[in-house]
Amino acid sequence: MTLRGRADTFWAAMRIFRHYNGLPDVARGSVVAIGNFDGVHRGHLAVIGEAGRIARSANVPWSVLTFEPHPRSVFAPESDSFRLTPFRAKARLIASLGVDNLIVLRFDRAFSRLTAETFIADVLVAGLRARHVVSGYDFVFGHSRKGNSELLLREGADAGFDFTALAPATDAGGDVHSATRVRMCLIDGDARGAARILGRAFEIEGRVGHGEKRGQTIGYPTANLSLDGYLRPATGVYAVHAGLCADGDRGEPDRWYDGVANLGRRPTFAGNDLVLEAHLFAFQGTLYGRRLRVAFIERLREEKKFDGITQLKAQIAEDCARAAEILARRDIGPPV
């Protein structure tokens, strides 16, 4: 399944529930795709899409059940940032598929102690009254991760819901599409490799903050974004698409701009904090306080320290020219 069209139409239609008790009828008796779905990559799209196919053929609601925060952040809170799609981005991508209901359950230590059998009985049966459950072949759940596809199949037969486990989605070389592979690509600076697994470019979204305004003084104003909540890709300079989001809090861009971005610590100016600075071609106006989505298309070079402003400006001009050439190909699908 592919992501289709602008997300705003579907976001408005998708209902989001943060509980499983007392759900309205529109969210019960549905076909449910279940998983963490960090990245919403091609493998996830296959699972969610299969649930949609079954739901539409049976004329019942199409739901996605997921968990926030990601279990890894609960069990290893000291670990480095690893999320590909914080909740806002994940919800937007799922909405773009045309899903009817997104059910988001809070994952904490107490929830993690639910046995797999209790999860099935309380959440899937009593709460959702699931008609059909769809997951990936390797989905595990419940206390000590003892729940699996075999248990869902067996318990579903007794409880009255059908179950489908999808085989792994793979690329032409037989490698499985996975969030782990996406993370490895990004850490290596391979934005194109990540896009092949995701089915779209990797993005970082955030609200534009105030920087030191050096870009304005040298003719290349930038929008500064924090990486809070996101995996840290390899530092360096990237060709990007940048979407300036519409007013409100939904994250649907009014327009996409070609651009170039530096992800790094600005060694020329002895910077310390990791910042994403995006320069948008052909944009005029103020970005401060607006939400911006920056899609990484290709890494141009490593970040490096320059001897002075003249050398830095010459390199930025070269980066912009090269980014414009790459982006003109439009060989990575449009952002969703």
The CATH code belonging to domain 202-327 is: 2.40.30.30
Tokens of 97: 């598929």
Per-residue confidence at 286, pLDDT binned at 50, 70, 90?
confident
Most confident among 1-10, 154-163, 205-214 (mean pLDDT):
154-163
Q: Residue 85's pLDDT is what?
A: 96
Decide if 148 contacts 140 (C-beta within 8 A): yes
pLDDT at residue number 7: 41
Q: CB–CB of 309/218 below 8 Å? A: yes
Q: Where are the domains of the chain?
A: 7-166, 202-327
H or E stretch covering 238:
strand 236-245
Mean pLDDT of all residues belonging to the chain:
90
pLDDT of residue 214: 61
What's the average model confidence in pLDDT over 1-15? 55
Q: How confident is the model at residue 304 (pLDDT cuts 50, 70, 90)?
A: confident
For the stretch 100-119, pLDDT in tens is 999 999 999 999 999 999 99
Position 269 scores a pLDDT of 58
**CB within 8 A of 137, min separation 6: which ones?**
149, 165, 166, 167, 168
Bridge partners (DSSP) listed for residue 208: none
Question: Which residues, at least 6 apart from 247, have a Cβ–Cβ distance to it below 8 Å?
Answer: none
- Please give the Cα distance from 169 to 84 (Å, whole number): 19
pLDDT the model gives residue 267:
55
**pLDDT attached to residue 6:** 42
Average pLDDT over residues 134-163: 96
| Residues 50-78: tens digit of each pLDDT | 999 999 999 999 999 999 999 988 988 87
What does the pLDDT look like over 178-233, one tens digit per residue? 999 999 999 999 999 999 999 999 999 999 987 665 656 678 899 999 998 899 99
Give the CATH fold of the 7-166 domain.
Answer: Rossmann fold (3.40.50)
pLDDT in tens, 237-271: 999 999 988 765 555 677 899 999 999 987 555 56
pLDDT band at 4 (very low <50, low <70, confident <90, very high): very low
CB 294 within 8 A of CB 262: no
